[in-house]
Each structure stands twice: as structure tokens, then as C-alpha cells.
A = this chain, B = another copy of it.
Amino acid sequence: MNLNKENSKALYLQIFQLLKEQIKNELKSDDKLPPIRKLAEDLNVNPATVARAYNILEEEGLIYKKVGRGSFVAPKYSEQSSISEKNKSMLKHGQIDLSENINFASAVPSTDLFPVADFKYAINQVLDRDQGEAFTYQKSQGYLGLRNSIRGYFKEDGINTDLKQIQIVSGAQQAIDIMAKTLIEYGDKVVVEDPTYFGALQAFRSRRANIKAIEMHKDGLNLDKFEDYLKNNKIKFLFTMQNFHNPTGINWSKDKQLRLLELADKYNFYIIEDDLLSELYYSTNKVDSLKSFDKKDRVIYIKSFSKVFMPGLRLAFIILPENLLTEILETKYATDISSAGLTQRAFDYYLREGLFKKHIHLKRELFKKRFEIMASEIENKLTDLIELSYRPNGGLYFWLKLPEVKNSNAFYETAVDRGVVFSPGNLFSIDQKPSPYFRLSFAAVNEQEIALGIKLLSNAARRFLNDSKDNSNYSPLL
């Protein structure tokens, strides 16, 4: 097995690919793989690098581990092919496997950024403290200690709330699902930003909502169009991401935020604010949540801790208007009774001890660097071919547009051939129509990968745009 240490491809990925080949072509089911330390020695790399490759192999279902006994080739069951088909379809949902490609599609921070040791410490602390209590049902509303520390933490962000208005949930997607169940009856009208987060669309569709999308401008929703719609349509709520919007990176202006609150009052609807990334501001100023201006209890504020922290925690909270409290509690119960107690308790400890604040600070610094590299690479290598729709000042996303309404889905194929993946724009629209837009995320790529990825993307774009030009049969689909 030979590694190419000059190769720009990360060593763990090289190891992963070589082993994958071996497993496919040479090894049999239940064959034992070399011990991590041994292989690391042979290849003259860090054991952590080999361990990382093994982890991906395991997650891909190619090997399984027995603690203390090593790693083994997984039974080569017949579903292997159907799994890859499924992975393909999961791409639609943003759940993309780690793979050989440079991944500008994933919005999930790579796992080496997780504060595993600190959180492990927190888990052990609360297990010693709470024993079995950590594993029984929590109240449906959430562990009181955590609700308390959340209240304290967000006071600093200008969000004042009563303890009773805080509902703990298992991630932002569950928050959206619970709000959809509580507020949407068959055929009810709701409004979303265009483009928007597809997971929200799925939850609203599951309730058979009538969904209207209204275009985003560079300072937020087109509120004139929105008000025109409101004049003739009674809506249940607007779903919005006010800062570092997914997928565009846009921040709403304060003027629009205030006008939106007036509209909500005048036309009597709720606003569901999904605050996914507001911690990731890279200019000197914090950004303002809509909730911090909300005097009339119109805003349902969803905050995920897991998004910029560790998504596998499945932990978020909702700040609710008072009149919805009882109903939400019943919906949460019918949804999954309560969120996991150990996670709530460990995260409470992590918050109280100031570890979360420290971690977010570090992450902001790190992402800021990546952001700056990505922005300058895009400007240097891409903007002669592809338009950057909006220059964000935080978050994890860049939103780009192919010239002449080309279809970014078709471009995706060319890019994959060149070794780079992203999220085509059709994923973010209510009708999934082909779109000239696409999203680049730098959550899961390091600085070297960013530079290489943009270069690959630039090559792909040059080829794609040329091909399309040559191809007289090409007809734009949008």
C-alpha cells in the first residue's frame, strides 16, 4: 500500500480509498484488518489518521469493529448496491457521505472540530452526579437545569424570556416539525423565503400546507410582495432565517426586521425564526435576532445548539409565545415524549461551566479564516465565470449563479467528475425546479481543500460552460 504524501488529497482519504479497494477486490467477509497502530507504523503516519480512515470505512458499512479485538470486513450482503442508490437519493437531503470528493455540499462541520474531550468530561460529571436520573424520562418540556442555563445564556444576546416559554427539543428539524404539527391544519397557508431550507418544506408538506414562497432581496424578504399576498390571504406563519440565511448567506436589515414585526401584528400571523448560525459573525459586530426586537410575542424562536457545535447531539430549543405552551407540550409528548436526559444534562453542564462560549469563540475564529480564504478564492478563480449573488459577512455559505440561466443540476455532474460536490439550487425551492443557483458550504473542508476545491470547480465550470455553448441542443430548463 503506497501513500502519496505530496498529493493534495488528505492522507486519511488516501488510506480510506486504498482499503476500500482491497475490501472490494481482495478481502473476504469477516477478514481481519491490520491493527491501527501497526498500519500507522507501516505507512509512517499518525495512528489518528488511520483511525479516521477506519471510522469512515465503518460508517460506509464496509467494516465493523469489535472493541479490544479489532476491525473486520463487513458481510458483503446483497444490499450493497441498493445502499449506494439510497446515498444518491440522500444527497437530495443534504446527507452526503464522506467520500473521495471535496465536499462543498455538507453544511455539517467536520468531526475533528468537535470538543470531544470536554464533552466527554461533562458526560462523566453528570453521570457521577445524577446516576440513573440521567437515563429516565425528562419532563416533556425539558430538563429544568438546562432551561435555566439557556435563559441565562441568551439574556446576553438581548433575548429575555420566561423559563416557562422555553421548550427543549431534539434538534431544529424537530422544532420545525413540532411547530408544523401544532399550527398547520390541512390546506393552511404558510409563507417561506425563496430560496429556503428544504427540511422545513418537507415538514410543512407533511402537514399538507399550502406553501407560498416569496423572493429574497439582499436585505431580506421582498416585503412589498409579501404584504400584497397578506392582503388577500390569511396565513398561519412565515418561516424565516434572519441571519446568514440558508442557502444565500443573507442578513435581513434592521429596517426590514422591524417592518416584518409590524406586518405580523397587523395581519395576525406568527413568525418562525430559525436561528441556525448567528454565532458565526466575522465582522466586529454581533447580528440581531428578530426575537430580540419582538415585543408582542409574535416570534417563535428556534435555536439549534448542534448545528455549529455537534449535530449528532440532537439538541435545540424553542422560545414560545405564552398562548401556545400547552398545545406544544402535548405535541412534543406525542412526537417523542421527551428529549434524551443525558444529553440535556451534559449540555447544561457544558453551558454553565462556560465551555460552550469558549468553544464557539474558537470556532468563529477558525471559520473566519476559512471564510476569508473561500471568499478570496471565489473572487480570484470563479467570478469571471460564475456570479457571486451575495457577499455574506458570516455563516457558512456562498450562493452563486451560473450565467445564462444554466441548470446547476447539470453542472453538478461535471463538477463531480472533477472531484468536487456542492448543493444545486433546486434543493432550496418549493417546486424543486432546475435552477441556475448553487450553494457552496465550507463547513466540512479545511483550508487546503478550499483552495483545491475552488480550482477544481473553476475547471469544471470552464468545461461545463463551454460544452453548453457548443451544444446547440441545450435548452435552459428554468
Chain A residues with CB under 8 Å of chain B are 51, 55, 58-59, 61, 64-67, 74, 77, 79, 82-83, 86, 89-90, 93, 95, 108, 110-114, 116, 119-120, 123-125, 127, 129-141, 144-145, 148, 162-164, 170-171, 173-174, 177, 181, 185-186, 199, 202-203, 206, 208, 310-314, 326, 329-331, 333-343, 349, 352-353
In the complex the two chains form, is A132's CB within 8 Å of B145's CB?
Answer: no
Residues of B within 8 A of A352 (CB): 66-67
CB distance from A179 to the nearest CB of B (A): 13
Chain B residue, CB-CB nearest to A203: B334
CB distance from A88 to the nearest CB of B (A): 12
Given A83-B164, A340-B340, A349-B67, A93 and B124 touching (CB < 8 A)?
no
In the complex the two chains form, is A173's CB within 8 Å of B64's CB?
Answer: no
CB distance from A80 to the nearest CB of B (A): 10
A310–B326 Cα distance when bound, in Å, is 27
Within 8 Å by CB of A93, from B83, B134, B199, B333, lies B333
A-B contact pairs, 12 of them (CB 8 A): A55-B131, A67-B353, A74-B148, A90-B139, A93-B333, A95-B338, A111-B135, A116-B135, A120-B124, A136-B311, A137-B311, A202-B334
Given A82-B164, A135-B313, A171 and B206 touching (CB < 8 A)?
no
In the complex the two chains form, is A335's CB within 8 Å of B77's CB?
Answer: no
In the complex the two chains form, is B336's CB within 8 Å of A314's CB?
Answer: yes
Residues of B within 8 A of A66 (CB): 352
Within 8 Å by CB of A67, from B111, B125, B131, B342, lies B125
Within 8 Å by CB of A206, from B51, B202, B334, lies B334
CB distance from A36 to the nearest CB of B (A): 10
CB distance from A146 to the nearest CB of B (A): 11
In the complex the two chains form, is B148's CB within 8 Å of A333's CB?
Answer: no
